[in-house]
Structures are given as C-alpha cells and as structure tokens.
C-alpha cells in the first residue's frame, strides 16, 4: 500500500558556467548545483540537477481527511512529515483517513 505519491515540479536549466563549459544549474534560490547532484531543501524537497534543469519532489504526504475541529496538522521540518494531534493535547495523535501529495 502506498501512503502517498510525491508531487514534483521542474525548473528549466539556468546554466552555471565554468570557463566555456556548462557544469550545472542554479536553483530557485539562486544556489548553484552541479549536474547529477542531489540534495534536500530546508522545506523537505528532494531535488536533483539534470542536464535539462532541476527537478524537485515532496517526500511527504499532507493530511486532508481528519477531524479538523478537534485536531491540527503540524509539519515537522526535522522529520519532513506531518503530525496530526489533538489541539488541546499535542501528545495525543489523531486518526487520519486520507493523505495527498
């Protein structure tokens, strides 16, 4: 059973040039990356630098079907995952019926 499918986006090549050679691409924050490199952003996207540009995908699902009156979803950037907990007591988890992303 698949818990979630990643959502992805692609950014066209913004060439990083060394001498006469294109060696990589700049990402959406203006940071240079060499071709065939991979990294995780602070927003938990898994990215890779391709010869055609940069591809990034989420690695987490977003909860969409839970009791929103009683519970709240909180994104944990360290774990790169959502936690759904009771509003009144964050130590108690809530049941989630559907995830997207």
Instruction: For 83-101, give the DSSP string.
Output: EEEESS-TTSB----EEE-
Question: Which pLDDT does position 101 carry in this prediction?
Answer: 72
Instruction: Decide if pLDDT at 70 tops 60.
Output: yes
Q: Which helix (H) or strand (E) holds 69?
A: none
Confidence of residue 59 (pLDDT cuts 50, 70, 90): confident
Question: Which pLDDT does position 6 carry in this prediction?
Answer: 62
Q: How far apart are CA 25 and CA 45, in angstroms?
A: 17
Confidence of residue 62 (pLDDT cuts 50, 70, 90): very high
8 A C-beta contact, residue 6 and residue 101: yes
Instruction: Decide if pLDDT at 23 tops 90.
Output: yes
Confidence of residue 2 (pLDDT cuts 50, 70, 90): very low
Question: Which pLDDT does position 7 carry in this prediction?
Answer: 85
Question: Which pLDDT does position 40 carry in this prediction?
Answer: 95
Q: How far apart are CA 85 and CA 21, in angstroms?
A: 51
| Choice between 1 and 52, residue whose per-residue pLDDT is larger | 52
Hey, what domains does the chain have and what are their CATH numbers? Answer: 8-58 (2.10.70.10), 62-100 (2.20.25.590)
What Cα–Cα distance (Å) separates residue 89 from each residue in 39, 73, 78, 80?
Answer: 35, 13, 21, 22
What tokens were used for 65?
A: 């079907």
């Amino acid at each position: 059973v698949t818990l979630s499918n990643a959502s992805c986006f692609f950014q066209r090549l913004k060439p990083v040039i060394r001498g006469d050679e294109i060696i990589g691409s700049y990402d959406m924050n203006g940071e240079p990356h060499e071709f065939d490199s991979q990294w995780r952003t602070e927003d938990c996207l898994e990215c890779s630098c391709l010869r055609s540009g940069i591809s990034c995908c989420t690695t987490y699902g977003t909860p969409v079907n839970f009791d929103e009156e009683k519970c709240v979803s909180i994104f944990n950037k360290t774990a790169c995952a959502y936690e759904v907990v009771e509003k009144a007591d964050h130590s108690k988890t809530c049941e989630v019926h559907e995830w997207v992303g």
